[in-house]
Structure 1
Amino acid sequence: MTMSESPPPLNLLLQLGALRDRALQADSLNALSFSMANDLYPLLAFHQALVFAQRGKRLELLQVSGLTRPSEDSPYLVWLQRASRWVASQVPDAAPVWLTRNSVPPPADIADGWDEWWPEGLWCLPVHARDGERLGILLLLLEQAPPAPMQQALPTLLDTWGYCWTALSRQRRLFRWGLSRRQGLLLVAALGLLLLLPVRQSALAPAEIVSRQAQIISSPIDGVIDQIQVRPNQVVEVGTPLFSLDETTLRSRAEVLGKEVAVADAELSAASQRAFDNPQSKGELTLLEGRARQRRAELAAVQAQLKRTRVLAPRNGVAVFSDPNDWLGKPVVTGERIMQVADPAQPAMLIQLPVADAIALEPGAEVTLFLTAYPLTPLKGKILETSYQARSTDDNVVAYRLLASIDDASEHARLGLHGTAKLYGGRVMLGYYLLRRPIAAVRAWSGL
């Protein structure tokens, strides 16, 4: 093919510059391919323009001039898939190639379609990236070879198309593996079989080390905390004073009742002496005697409360509570929890499993606790008991309460330590394991 040595006309260069500007304005690969297939028509009166993208060893039809992207498998498109592979093999490098029906005889299965659908000539314009990788190819169906000025000036437009194509398809090319249809189906089948693999269901939940033998110490009466006589985590024995309530009000009440008892006894004694001389005084004896008994009963009740102001340890163990300063001077009511006495020799895991992460668990299920203080020394155990009713925790999370044992009691199993527990349930399919939460969310949203 003879190329003209004279520079291309200024009008042609201006038109090609406008096409480069349109290519640079494209915001997607589809927009770029549409420009490639249609914007050259004022310069070359082609029958049809076809834009193909290189997908490994095969070509994908992106655009046909005058049409949107074809999506149906018509006889022409089926034949075009075979013809495009043969045409691409006739374009070995980045230089445009002019093919005619007679100069390069096509194979028999392509020649019939060429005679039916294509004109005499075919101008093949490959689009390459800067590193030489072929991105696609533009086919222009012409009756005769393009003029020499066009052949001389068009490579600069091809470079612009390659630059824009690379920029617009960068993310897509990261996932372009060049797989055939059969390989893609095999990959999908392999992924489907992988989702059927049985895996062990598990869940994560916050946990704390507590004692299996712990007794709650509560306030025996209404009052105000006067003194905390033990320190947090202090070892106590049976009878060790734990805390005491303020006795000022009760002692004042006891003194008043003591004087009222003395007054009632004096009135009863005087009435008894008068009863010997005055028969009317005998009727007062029963009333005064009852009043004296009432005052003695009230005094005995207050004295009993005074004895209960000092709380002693009911068993051996460790006193577990918060800072003593948080309790001093604090009003408490009967039954309000103050502390607990726990046996550190029988540690256990107290697990708060959120409802959103709940799985099917039975007593005896395995648990692994990763303590925050000792993340490299996990503790093993088994579920001892589970609650059927979920309750709100201190963090306002609705959770189930689970108690698990600790198999090998180590020095790290200290009361009060926190961590994350991993609970193991039964075996389920990998697909169910991965999609359980999304399925539950969809069902909650849709109500199905």
Structure 2
Amino acid sequence: MTVNRPLPHPQLLLQLDALRDKAMAAETLGALTFSMANDLYPLLPFHQALVFGQSKAGLELLCVSGLARPSEDSPYLVWLRRASRWLAARLSDAQPAWLTLQHASPPDDIAQGWAEWWPSGLWCIPLHAPAGERLGVLVLLLEEAPPPMVHQQLDGLIRTWAYCWNTLTRRRRLGRWRPSRRQVLLTLLVAASLLLVPVRQTALAPAQIVSRQAQIVSSPIDGVIANVMVRPNQPVQAGTPLFTLDETTLRSRAEVLGKEVAVADAELQAASQRAFDNPQSKNELTLLQGRVQQRRAELAAVQAQLRRTQVLAPRDGVAVFSDPNDWLGKPVTTGERIMHVADPTQPAMQIQLAVADAIALEPGAEVTLFLTAYPLSPIRGHILETSYQAKPGDDGVVAYRLLASIDAHAEHSRLGLHGTAKLYGDRVLLGYYLLRRPLATLRAWSGW
């Protein structure tokens, strides 16, 4: 005998299809649980829907109907955590279960909260993965048990929820890979072994090419530069005029002193003639002679300064200085550096090693210079001398000055080129190489 079961209403089928579509369109597990907790109400009116996720510690509340996110530590949520542990123990299979307060016989603390916050019955719908692992539980708070027809109609929707839940959870696990304990220990062992590998200690510092034989040309007297007769990097020979100082003040002073010398000579001559007739005039001769000598000495000093207004090259080489227009008309003092006369055939590296990057270096240590203009043609050399006192440079960085030689066969070793020098020290452990500066900072901060 065939039993004719009533067909579901077409509107119910459309609503179930809509719920399946929402589940399939969920991009995150939060969106899926929110749909499970709220979108089922038109088909099955309930007091409240709770969605729990299965974790290693038990059931974890993920969503509550009517709430965007259950994050408040209210008394209800605190009690709900204890109730979820009891509920997880009651659900042993994959079939939906109807639980009531009378038949479930919960503990006293769970029973008191049930009587206060929950209705008489719970419809618990477990969601399981294809492998049999429980993913979560949907708990609907109802006054009466749902009819059997509802079980049949919601079976496909429940399987869709389980499939989407499993897919989203697996995607999250793949996106957040966690290494095993063995892998972590193996990684730490390899890292510790690498820290014991000996490496060459190195440091980077700005450098430029200078001459080992460079002589400073300074101003011989106080004055104003009138003319610069050479161009930057121009080859010069010993005795070549480099620059001249303005002579206007000195020539005026020389003319005045010349007149004063003539007056002093005339006074001395007149006093000498009077000394024949007047014995008292003999006393003035000594004073006038001293005055004449003083005026002649002053005139000779001014004339010597006039001869020094033209500065000549002290040796053969190249004139190294900045733009000549920066010096024209500029007042200078005695000993102020104007330019260098450098020998281009004896180039060297001048390195400014910052104090923070300083390493132990001895004369003879290897140096490699990477020029900014020729990065593919490094220049090699060795440390010649190091300064034991650090001084602030033009950029305000306190650094040690180092001078290094350049190999004889090096190319592009033109004076004035800048680059970055790599300095090579002794071999140290990789751990010391990486932690040297942090340890120095820590010791300076802690004082230990």
Cα distance change of structure 1 residues 248 and 354 upon mapping to structure 2, 3 Å threshold: same
Give the letter for the 2:377 counterpart.
Answer: T
C-alpha distance in 1, partners of 2:135/2:258? 114
Deviation at 1:401, TM superposition (A): 1.1
Deviations 1:14-41 (A, max 9, x none): 9x97xx89x9798xx8x7899899999x
Contact persistence 1:380–1:408 (CA under 8 A): no
1:55 corresponds to: none
Contact kept, 8 Å, 2:126 with 2:134, in 1: the verdict is: no
Q: Give the one of 152, 159, 164 matched to 2:156.
A: 152
Q: What is the correspondence of 1:38-187 to structure 2 with a 5 Å cutoff? A: 51-52=54-55, 61=56, 64-65=59-60, 98=94, 123=126, 125-126=128-129, 138=135, 147-158=151-162, 161=165, 165=169, 169=172, 173-174=174-175, 176=177, 179-187=179-187
In the TM superposition, residue 423 of structure 1 has moved relative to its aligned partner by: 0.9
Query: Pairwise CA RMSD of aligned residues?
Result: 4.3
Q: Deviations over 1:15-69 (max 9, x none)?
A: x97xx89x9798xx8x7899899999x99999x96625xxxxxxxx37534699x
Aligned to 1:385: 385
Cα deviation, residue 331, structure 1: 0.8
Residue 334 (structure 1) shift: 0.6
Change in Cα spacing, 1:199 to 1:37, as seen in structure 2 (3 Å) is: farther
How far residue 147 of structure 1 moved from its aligned partner, in angstroms, is 4.0
In structure 1, stretches of 5+ residues that fail to align are 53-60, 69-76, 81-86, 88-96, 101-120, 128-133
Contact 1:8-1:152 within 8 A present in 2 as well: no
State the number of aligned residues.
Answer: 375
SS in 2 for 1:98: coil
CA distance in 2, matches of 1:441, 1:164: 47
How much does 1:210 deviate?
A: 0.2
Question: d(CA) in 2 for partners of 1:186 and 1:153?
Answer: 45
Matches within 5 A, 1:230-309: 230-309=230-309
- Residue aligning to 1:105: none
Bigger shift: residues 388-397 or 339-348: 388-397
Going from structure 1 to structure 2, the CA distance change for 1:296 and 1:33 (only over 3 Å counts) comes to farther
The residue number in structure 2 matching 1:116 is: none
Q: Distance in 2 between matches of 1:231 and 1:405?
A: 27
The residue type equivalent to 1:415 in the other structure is: L
Alignment partners' CA distance in 1, 2:328 and 2:241: 15
Instruction: Look up the match of 2:105.
Output: none
Is the 1:37–1:63 contact (alpha carbons within 8 Å) kept by the matching residues of 2? no
Q: How far apart are 1:317 and its partner, in Å?
A: 1.1
Residues 204 and 38 of structure 1, relative CA distance in 2, 3 Å threshold: farther
What are the equivalent positions in structure 2 for 1:427-442 lying under 5 Å apart? 427-442=427-442
The one-letter code sitting in structure 2 at the alignment partner of 1:352 is Q
Aligned CA distance change for structure 1 residues 443 and 38 (closer, same or farther; 3 Å):
farther
Shift of 1:159: 5.7
- 1:126 is displaced (CA, Å) by 2.5
Relative to 1, partners in 2 of residues 1:242 and 1:124: Cα closer, same or farther, differing over 3 Å?
A: same
Deviation at 1:445, TM superposition (A): 4.5
Distance 1:410 1:180, change over 3 A: closer
SS where residue 328 of structure 1 aligns? Answer: coil
> What is the alpha-carbon distance in structure 2 between the residues aligned to residue 175 and residue 417 of structure 1?
51
Taking the aligned partners of 1:290 and 1:220, their CA distance within structure 2 comes to: 29
- Over 3 Å counting, the alpha-carbon distance change for 1:442 and 1:312 in structure 2 is same
Residues 357-366 or 178-187, more deviating: 178-187
Q: For the Cα contact (< 8 Å) 2:127–2:158, is it kept in 1?
A: no
User: For residues 333-352 of structure 1, what are the structure 2 equivalents within 5 Å?
Assistant: 333-352=333-352
The amino acid across from 2:135 in the alignment is L
Deviation readout 1:105-124 (Å, 9 max, x if unpaired): xxxxxxxxxxxxxxxx9955
Task: Report how far residue 208 of structure 1 moved.
Answer: 0.3
Show structure 2 runs of 5+ residues with no match: 1-5, 63-70, 72-84, 97-123, 140-147
**Are the aligned partners of 1:384 and 1:404 in contact in 2 as well (CA < 8 Å)?**
yes
Q: CA deviation at 1:155?
A: 3.7
CA contact under 8 A between 1:36 and 1:51: conserved in structure 2? no
SS in 1 for 2:129: strand
Instruction: Output the TM-score relative to the length of structure 1.
Output: 0.71
Residue 141 (structure 1) shift: 11
In structure 1, distance between residues paired with 2:377 and 2:235: 26
